[in-house]
Amino acid sequence: MSSKEIRLDSGRTGRINMPEAIYCEGKTTEHCLQAVNEMLTNENFSDTIIATRANPEQFSALLDLEPTLALGTTLSWRHRSAHGFTVGIISAGTSDLPVANECKITLEALGHSTFNITDVGVSGLHRLTGALPQIVKADILVAIAGMEGSMPTVLAGLVPHPIIAVPTSSGYGSSFEGITAFLSMTASCAQRIAVVGIDNGFGAACAAHRASQLIRLETT
């Protein structure tokens, strides 16, 4: 394999204070191992390392590199120091857990504390309202939902937190693999909702991290 097949961005942290992530889907296992190995051993890379969307073969191979955290299809190494922000990851259904796990590992690699609340979709609204005492303890929320995608809007009407909404591809026919949820979230009447792409737990975590930086600036 030519070294030119992998071109890592060692200057990204310095430019935007965000690490380069390795998106494993579509790559060979060798590509993934090469990328993580270079980031672990190259002195130009000192930031956290995140690998997302690893298939079972890639995930198993990357475990040999002793990640700090590994869950689902996501692995991370060399986490940033904790900085006091807590992000609540709220999932409408258990089917949304793969996206929630990607979000969780990314946030923890970036130095955030997290907690997950799962299966609180609006088809049983009492489950969501019953979880509010824990939900309000977060500084920022990530709300993950498929189907019709209404849970983030309902949540935004109940709490004052910034909310990063993530549409997922879970759902039947007219859910159109997440398009319905995406359109619903972008058409929300509730304030304070920012929407990322379908199934993009990594992007939601990065958006929540940026929100934390803005909150920190406002309070200093």
- Dump strand ranges (E) for the chain: 21-23, 49-52, 69-71, 74-77, 86-91, 113-118, 140-145, 163-167, 193-195
Domain match, 53 and 90 both: no
Stated pTM of the model: 0.92
Mean pLDDT value of segment 197-206: 97
State the residue range of the domain holding 62.
11-77
Type of residue numbered 74? T
Per-residue pLDDT of 88-105, as tens digits, reads 999 999 999 999 999 999
| pLDDT at 214 exceeding the cut of 90 | no
Whole-number pLDDT of residue 220: 61
Domain match, 191 and 124 both: yes
Domain count, the chain: 2
Domain match, 55 and 121 both: no
Q: How far is CA 204 from CA 3, 164, 167, in A?
A: 31, 6, 10
Q: Is residue 162 part of a domain?
A: yes
Domain match, 96 and 152 both: yes
Whether 9 and 20 have beta carbons less than 8 Å apart is answered as yes
- Label residue 83 by pLDDT band (50, 70, 90): confident
Whole-number pLDDT of residue 8: 86
Whole-number pLDDT of residue 2: 43
- Closest by CA position to 208, among listed 131, 72, 102, 125: 102
Domain match, 59 and 94 both: no
Whether 215 and 139 have beta carbons less than 8 Å apart is answered as yes
Whether 179 and 148 have beta carbons less than 8 Å apart is answered as no
Number of Cβ atoms within 10 Å of the Cβ of 88: 25
- Label residue 1 by pLDDT band (50, 70, 90): very low
Mean pLDDT value of segment 106-120: 96
- The token pair that represents 33 in the structure block: 């191992």
Q: Is residue 1 part of a domain?
A: no
Q: Taken in order 71, 15, 27, 97, is the CA torsion positive or negative? A: positive
Phi and psi torsions of 4, nearest 5° = -75, -10
Whole-number pLDDT of residue 175: 92
Whole-number pLDDT of residue 57: 97
Per-residue pLDDT of 35-51, as tens digits, reads 999 999 988 888 999 99
| pLDDT at 12 exceeding the cut of 60 | yes
Whole-number pLDDT of residue 42: 87
Give the integer Cα–Cα distance in Å for 201 and 207: 10
Domain match, 95 and 194 both: yes
